[in-house]
Structure 1
Amino acid sequence: MKELIVISRLLEYPAEDLAQNREEITQAIAQSSRLSRADAQQLGQFVTTLLSRDLLDVQAEYSELFDRGRATSLLLFEHVHGESRDRGQAMVDLLGQYRNAGLELDTLELPDHLPVYLEYLAQLPEAAAREGLQDIAPILALLSARLQQRESHYGVLLDILLHMADSALDSSAVQQKIADEARDDTPAALDAVWEEEQVKFFAEQGCGDSPVSAHQRRFAGAVAPQYLDLTDGGQR
């Protein structure tokens, strides 16, 4: 599923080669038979807007969105396991899934990084890829809702993934539920988290059951940093 490759690239930290691959990305969107006309238009507009801006500005915005706080983290298990010990085993399990599919990680990204997971799904048969998207649909809806609250155009990418999953989840409904949620990316919130983590550094943390985790029973996890080596072909 080339569409998943495209969205994966757009969710990565913006680099200069994104502009160099613009024609290939645009062509993949235009030729897609899996995207609705509305989604294809939105995805094309996202690419146009992203590449029309100064790269340093785009990189700064990306870091502000995805690297400050945990609410909009692209690490999937952050929203399922948090800091519990279950996260490590989930990482190991996900890495095993990648290896069974003939893929190896070769960069510093963690296996549960959303762009990495999307590249893995892109190698699977379409039905299996859609099932994989359905497994993370609650996370996608939550991320989209939070990004919309922050008036970020990146939310469009998560909504398109929900549509590709044929998910009944609606990010706008989730947005209403989190309307009073305190942001965790403010200086005060980040300081509070840092202080709390110092206290808990040697302490054992509980493994509580997140509402999202109830939807993730079939979604395994993994350990080891890096990026998918996609040179072995696969179904795209």
Structure 2
Amino acid sequence: MQIARVLSLLLDYPHDGLLAAQADIDAIIADSPLSAERKQALAAFVQRRFAGQLMDWQSEYDGLFERGRSLSLLLFEHVHGESRDRGQAMVNLMNQYKEAGLEIGVRELPDYIPLYLEFLSTQGEENLRLGLEEVAHILALLAARLEQRDSDYAAVMHALLELSGVSVDLGDVREQIANEKRDDTKEELDKVWEEEMVKFGPDSQSDGCSSGVNKPSETQRKDQYVPINWADITDAAQTEAQRGN
């Protein structure tokens, strides 16, 4: 589904090529199955972001998603944290990509949300919905935290939630995170640097993962989706609350 691909691009690091595709992005949003409210919010996001300076956008992106863990775009960060289960989950997801014929080529981990969305966008509408349904609790958590920071990126998370078809009580999620301690301060970031980086797989020094080198063939595109076991929103919130204490 094209709208999933667009949302993947909007959540990825902004670059010149993205700006050049604004007309196509606007058209895909307008033709998407999203509600009028979601289309309007996404269109406003695109207009605002694309009208500004790219370097300012990149700087804000880094500040949101690259500082601290609470807004990490790595799915398993919100499920497994630094536990050993994270490594096996990475391997399982990578195998799922390979079974669907997706060869990873850029430096990203397999649970990077834009990469996961790119994969789902090739798997047919029903598999896209199922894939988003499994991570809806994480998307809701990110949406609420982005709202808390007055970031318009919340519009992208809300669009993904709508595509998932899952009804999430965002009021409950907002209440859960109301008293969360910010993890993007200098003091909290210093604590993170003191921790050992998580590695997985036999070659932890490899270039990581990526999207976009080889795409699935037509025979591989659909019905290849195998559900991944994800925690629910309560588990995710509790895990991060425990890490913050």
TM-score normalised according to structure 1 size: 0.84
2:12 counterpart residue number: 12
Measured after TM superposition, the shift of residue 229 of structure 1 is 3.5
1:132-154 deviation digits (Å, cap 9, x = unpaired): 00100110001111111111100
2:233 counterpart residue number: none
2:213 counterpart residue number: 229
Residues 59-208 of structure 1 mapped to structure 2, 5 A cutoff = 59-195=58-194, 197=195, 201=196
What one-letter code is carried by the residue in structure 2 that aligns with 1:225? C
Distance, in Å, in 2 between the alignment partners of 1:50 and 1:67 is: 18
Conserved in 1, the CA contact under 8 Å of 2:100 and 2:216?
Answer: no
Distance, in Å, in 2 between the alignment partners of 1:119 and 1:191 is: 33
Measured after TM superposition, the shift of residue 173 of structure 1 is 2.8
Measured after TM superposition, the shift of residue 170 of structure 1 is 3.3
Measured after TM superposition, the shift of residue 233 of structure 1 is 6.1
1:10-59 deviation digits (Å, cap 9, x = unpaired): 00000011111111111111122x11111111111111011011101000
Distance, in Å, in 1 between the alignment partners of 2:111 and 2:217 is: 21
Gaps of 5+ in 2: 198-206, 223-245
Aligned identity (percent) is 46
Distance, in Å, in 1 between the alignment partners of 2:117 and 2:81 is: 21
Conserved in 2, the CA contact under 8 Å of 1:91 and 1:224?
Answer: no
Measured after TM superposition, the shift of residue 88 of structure 1 is 1.1
Distance, in Å, in 1 between the alignment partners of 2:99 and 2:48 is: 38
Conserved in 1, the CA contact under 8 Å of 2:104 and 2:214?
Answer: no
Conserved in 1, the CA contact under 8 Å of 2:30 and 2:39?
Answer: yes
Comparing 100-109 with 186-195, greater Cα deviation is found at 186-195
Deviating above 3 A after TM superposition, structure 1's stretches of 4 or more consecutive aligned residues are: 228-236
Does the residue aligned with 2:179 lie in a helix, a strand or coil?
coil
Q: Quickly say closer, same or farther: Cα 1:172–1:153, change in 2 above 3 A.
A: farther
Comparing 162-171 with 46-55, greater Cα deviation is found at 162-171
Conserved in 1, the CA contact under 8 Å of 2:129 and 2:163?
Answer: yes
Distance, in Å, in 1 between the alignment partners of 2:55 and 2:172 is: 34
TM-score normalised according to structure 2 size: 0.81
Conserved in 2, the CA contact under 8 Å of 1:104 and 1:227?
Answer: yes
Does the residue aligned with 1:107 lie in a helix, a strand or coil?
coil
What one-letter code is carried by the residue in structure 1 that aligns with 2:130? E
